[in-house]
Amino acid sequence: MARVISVINLKGGVGKTTITVALSEFLSYEFDKKVLAILQYI
């Protein structure tokens, strides 16, 4: 079953990309699953 986790903060410089990549890496390693991270830059 797919799960969706979102990291949202509209302020700049709060580490959204860093948190997203670190969380993706942790979940992939911890649960031995593939993780798709979609980063959108406006």
Quick one: pLDDT at residue 32? 93
Cα 15 to chain center, whole Å? Answer: 11
Q: For residue 8, which of 26, 20, 24, 23 has the smallest C-alpha distance?
A: 20
Quick one: pLDDT at residue 3? 86
Query: What is the identity of the amino acid at 14?
Result: V
Alpha-carbon radius of gyration of the chain = 11
Q: What is the pLDDT along the chain (42 residues), one digit of tens a residue?
A: 788 888 888 888 888 889 889 999 999 999 999 999 888 776
| Site of tokens 């410089």 | 13
